[in-house]
């Protein structure tokens, strides 16, 4: 995971080639349309399939019929899928730019490990058993590890390699702890094995309200960082010469990525592959400009997450497959296909 | 690369010469001694403690019958598996880090651990198989995943970067399958699976020792014979080719060797974390010698794993925690230490 590719020289000010100038907005509108379709499918598909009419009725004229109740139930899940997907996509894109590593994902900086270790602690030592109780633990764990990685990585003088090393090291130690607890405490293992695969099934209004402020703040911060991160990606010296504030940009980017990924992980467990794959795939279409990568990632990551969730409801009827599993099983081959088709996508 | 002091050529009769590195030699001898000493300590550790002197006496064939049984049938195979697994992981890690020229490179990039875990989980969860079947399943799973990654990355040759990317994709899929199997298992099977996934030496017997030993006996000379070429390869393909190293052949033999060593070690003890990552790095820092340090890494791996197992048993009691927990925590701690010291020295 830690292949550090040299930064590609590139110029943000050079106008995009004409084809790209048309293709990028067009592709983005198509992606949004696709997202709407997937979201509607997420409302309609499940153990009880609904017609588009029923979905419409439930959304806008809810009057307590059976169909309305089902739509209500699925609405929370769909909303969480949209929010968490966008958050994972954005945090992945920001991290890949920050570490100048096209393969960086939130797992690399130990955020998943932090959330998992905190949740297993909550279950085993504090006796927390409700999914809603995990949320704060997971978020605090993710945030604490994010901060720790940042300081061990050298805070303002952090380099991509140091951040990656610090993240790997802390993950290693935390996973050791996680496994030790799971081996000694069967009850914790019983709960953790379901939490670790990542699922949207437990989504509820209160969970969404809990994480929404963090997701909104993180998202805004990520978009605000698009330009400074573009400069930082050109290499430290060039960025400094261009007047970029390296330390400040890195600190804020780390903050945005941690908050986004931490909140998403808190709400639906560690869904690992979305944050890595979507920005990586998007980059081969948009080029390296974060002002395009970020909106694309924010739209297409939820398409993948919600689409996977819908598929997971259908394939194993009447049971469900957790979204984390389906995401990887669908996303993996797509990712390999992309890797084989294109010349190596550089950051 | 640091300048290399302390090595001296030894001229042998007949025009042959040999480069001798006293420091590296001493390090290898000390590490070997440490590994064996830890092994003796490990044999003496457990529900029935046996003093080191008695262990040595029993190993020489002069102990009483009870101790002879405990030592030879119960604990010696465990220690031997530990030594061989640690040595294989250390050597495999050194080969991979050298070939990929990445201090964080490891055969796990090819999905060996995840694949082996999938094989073991299938046997544990779906077939409720015993230890021998789990070993076989893990071996098949690991090698099949490695092969799949290699073939999927093949496109008029294998490009290193594409190999890594395809490996990540395949690992994600296999990891998801593992997560699914774990949620489908009943709690007893899941507990057993988690112990296996952590990497454990509990209950290993002679059935695991012999195949490992055989493989090791075949691969070690092969790998060491190609190790000289590896040292040239670190200077770049072109330079190595100009110096007369058959680049493609050396690299292929060494990669296959590393994969086989790692797969066999993983099948025998589960995916023990971080030995393959840390052993070569530690060995290099001790010998202060450039190049892959194959023999030193091998001894370091063996010493690390057996010491970690001994410490796990001493700290938490026999059979309470598998060795993988401790190697994970130690590996993480080591990386952090590396991070702080190298930063102070201004190297990264």
For chain B, which domains are there? Answer: 21-28+77-344 (1.10.3470.10)
Q: Is the dihedral of CA B311, A108, B194, A117 positive or negative?
A: positive
CA distance B26 to chain A (A): 30
Query: A202 and chain B: CB distance < 8 Å anywhere?
Result: no
Q: What average pLDDT does range A181-186 have in this prediction?
A: 84
Residue B158's region, left for phi above 0, alpha for psi from -120 to 50, else beta, is: beta
pLDDT-derived band of residue B54, with 50, 70 and 90 as boundaries? confident
Identify any residues that bridge with B233 across adjacent strands, giving them in sequence order: none
The model's confidence at residue A158, banded by pLDDT at 50, 70 and 90, is low
- The answer to whether B341 faces chain A, any CB pair under 8 Å, is no
What average pLDDT does range A292-309 have in this prediction? 92
Question: A233 pLDDT exceeds 50?
Answer: yes
Q: In B309-345, which positions are buried (b, 16+ CB within 10 angstroms) versus exposed (e)?
A: bbbbbeeeeeeebbbbbbbbbbbbbbbbebbeeebee
Of B172, B198, B339, the CB nearest to A273: B172
Comparing B81-85, B289-293, B321-325, which segment has the lowest mean pLDDT?
Answer: B289-293
**H runs (alpha helix) in B64-205:** 65-69, 76-100, 112-121, 131-152, 160-184, 187-198
Q: CB B332 to CB A166 under 8 A?
A: no
Q: Is residue B312 very low, low, confident or very high in pLDDT (cuts 50, 70, 90)?
A: confident
pLDDT of residue A171: 83
The answer to whether residue A347 scores a pLDDT higher than 50 is no
Q: How far is B100 from chain A (nearest CA, A)?
A: 10
Rounded to whole angstroms, the Cα distance separating A210 from A221 reads 19
> Do residues A281 and A273 touch, judged by C-beta distance below 8 A?
no
Listed in sequence order, the residues at least 6 apart from A315 whose beta carbon sits closer than 8 Å to its beta carbon are A321, A326
- Bigger pLDDT: B41 vs B4: B41
Q: Is the peptide bond before B157 cis (omega within 30 degrees of 0)?
A: no
Q: For chain A, say whether B252 makes contact (Cβ under 8 Å).
A: no
Q: Give CB contacts under 8 A, 24+ apart, made by A68-71.
A: A70/A46, A71/A43
Q: How far is CA B264 from CA A19, B92, B120, B212, in A?
A: 52, 11, 13, 7
Residue B345 contacts A where some CB pair is shorter than 8 Å: no
Tell me the count of A-B CB pairs closer than 8 A.
163
Give the pLDDT band of residue B17 (cuts 50, 70, 90): low
Domain A104-270 matching CATH 3.40.50.1860: the answer reads no
- Sort A213 into a burial class: Cβ within 10 Å, 0-12 / 13-18 / 19+: exposed
Chain A: nearest CA to B106, how far in angstroms?
10
Instruction: Give the residue from B165, B197, B330 with the most A CB atoms within 10 Å of its CB, the best one to mutate.
Output: B165
Per-residue confidence (pLDDT) for residue A218, from 0 to 100: 93
Tell me what the pLDDT averaged over chain A comes to: 81
A332 Cα to chain B: minimum distance (Å): 5
Q: Indicate whether B25 pLDDT > 50.
A: yes
Give the gap in angstroms from C-alpha A53 to the nearest C-alpha of chain B: 35
CB B42 within 8 A of CB B304: no
Residue B3 has pLDDT above 50, yes or no: no
Say which residue the tokens 């590719």 belong to: A5
Band of residue A3 on the pLDDT scale cut at 50, 70, 90: very low
**Does the distance separating the beta carbons of A189 and B190 come in below 8 Å?**
yes
pLDDT of residue A258 exceeding 60: yes
Does B115 reach chain A within 8 Å, measured CB to CB?
Answer: no
- Is A327 part of the contact surface with chain B (CB cutoff 8 Å)? yes
Cβ atoms within 10 Å, residue A299:
24
- Provide the token pair at B27: 């390090």
pTM of the full structure? 0.78
Domain boundaries, chain A: 104-270, 271-347
**Residue of higher predicted confidence among A130 and B225:** B225
Residues 6+ apart with CB under 8 A from A149: A109, A110, A163, A166, A167, A170, A254
Contact B202, B322 (CB under 8 A): yes
pLDDT tens digits for range B145-162: 988 988 888 777 666 667
**Tokens found for residue A208:** 């969404």
Give the CA distances from residue A19 to residues A26, A27, A280, A300, in Å, rounded to whole numbers and listed in that order: 11, 12, 21, 21
């Amino acid at each position: 995971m830690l292949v550090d590719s040299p930064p590609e020289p590139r110029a943000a000010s050079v106008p995009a080639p004409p084809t790209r100038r048309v293709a990028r907005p067009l592709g983005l509108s198509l992606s949004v349309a696709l997202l709407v379709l997937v979201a509607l499918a997420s409302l309609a598909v499940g153990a009880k399939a609904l017609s588009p009419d029923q979905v419409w009725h439930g959304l806008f004229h809810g009057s307590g019929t059976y169909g309305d109740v089902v739509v209500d139930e699925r609405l929370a899940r769909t909303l969480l899928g949209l929010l968490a997907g966008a958050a994972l996509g954005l945090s992945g894109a920001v991290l890949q730019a920050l570490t100048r590593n096209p393969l960086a994902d939130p797992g690399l900086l130990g955020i998943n490990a932090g959330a998992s270790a905190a949740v297993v602690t909550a279950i085993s030592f504090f006796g927390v058993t409700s999914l809603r109780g995990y949320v704060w633990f997971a978020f605090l764990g993710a945030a604490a590890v994010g901060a720790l990685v940042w300081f061990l990585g050298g805070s303002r003088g952090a380099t991509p390699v140091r951040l990656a090393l610090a993240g790997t090291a802390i993950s290693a130690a935390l996973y050791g702890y996680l496994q030790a607890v799971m081996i000694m405490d069967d009850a914790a293992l019983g709960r953790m094995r379901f939490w670790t695969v990542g699922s949207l099934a437990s989504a509820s209004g209160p969970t969404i309200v809990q994480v929404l402020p963090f997701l909104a703040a993180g998202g805004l911060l990520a978009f605000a960082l698009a330009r400074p991160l573009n400069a930082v990606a050109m290499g430290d010296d060039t960025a400094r010469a261009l007047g970029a504030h390296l330390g400040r940009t890195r600190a804020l980017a780390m903050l945005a990525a941690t908050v986004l990924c931490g909140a998403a992980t808190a709400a639906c467990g560690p869904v690992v592959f979305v944050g890595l794959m979507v920005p990586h795939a998007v980059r081969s279409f948009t080029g390296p400009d974060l002002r395009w990568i970020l909106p694309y990632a924010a739209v297409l990551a939820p398409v993948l997450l919600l689409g996977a969730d819908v598929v997971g409801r259908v394939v194993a009827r009447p049971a469900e497959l957790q979204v984390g599993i389906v995401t990887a099983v669908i996303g993996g081959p797509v990712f390999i296909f992309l890797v084989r088709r294109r010349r190596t996508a550089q950051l | 690369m640091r300048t290399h002091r302390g090595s001296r050529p030894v001229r042998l009769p007949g025009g042959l010469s040999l480069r001798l590195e006293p420091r590296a030699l001493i390090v290898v001898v000390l590490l070997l001694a440490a590994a064996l000493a830890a092994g003796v300590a490990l044999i003496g550790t457990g529900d029935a403690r046996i003093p080191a002197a008695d262990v040595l006496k029993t190993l020489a064939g002069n102990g009483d019958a009870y101790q002879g049984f405990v030592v030879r049938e119960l604990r010696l195979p465990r220690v031997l598996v530990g030594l061989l697994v640690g040595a294989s992981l250390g050597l495999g890690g050194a080969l991979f880090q050298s070939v990929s020229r990445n201090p964080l490179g490891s055969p796990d990039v090819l999905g060996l651990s995840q694949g082996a875990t999938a094989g073991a989980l299938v046997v544990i969860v779906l077939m409720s198989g015993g230890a021998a079947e789990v070993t076989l399943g893990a071996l098949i799973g690991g090698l099949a995943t490695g092969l799949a990654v290699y073939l999927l990355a093949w496109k008029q040759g294998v490009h290193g970067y594409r190999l890594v990317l395809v490996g990540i994709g395949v690992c994600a899929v296999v990891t998801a399958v593992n997560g699914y199997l774990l949620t489908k298992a009943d709690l007893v099977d899941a507990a057993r699976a988690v112990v296996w996934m952590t990497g454990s030496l509990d209950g290993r017997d002679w059935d695991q020792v012999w195949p490992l030993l055989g493989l090791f006996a075949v691969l070690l000379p092969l790998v060491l014979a190609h190790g000289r070429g590896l040292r040239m390869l670190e200077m770049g393909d072109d330079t190595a080719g100009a110096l007369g190293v058959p680049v493609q052949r050396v690299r292929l033999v060494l990669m296959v060797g590393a994969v086989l060593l790692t797969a066999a070690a993983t099948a025998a003890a589960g995916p023990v974390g971080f030995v393959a990552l840390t052993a070569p790095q530690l060995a290099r820092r001790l010998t202060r010698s450039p190049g892959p340090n194959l023999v030193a890494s091998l001894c370091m791996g063996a010493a690390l794993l057996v010491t970690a197992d001994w410490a796990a048993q001493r700290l938490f009691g026999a059979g309470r925690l598998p060795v993988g927990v401790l190697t994970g925590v130690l590996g993480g701690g080591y990386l952090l230490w590396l991070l702080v010291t190298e930063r102070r020295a201004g190297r990264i």
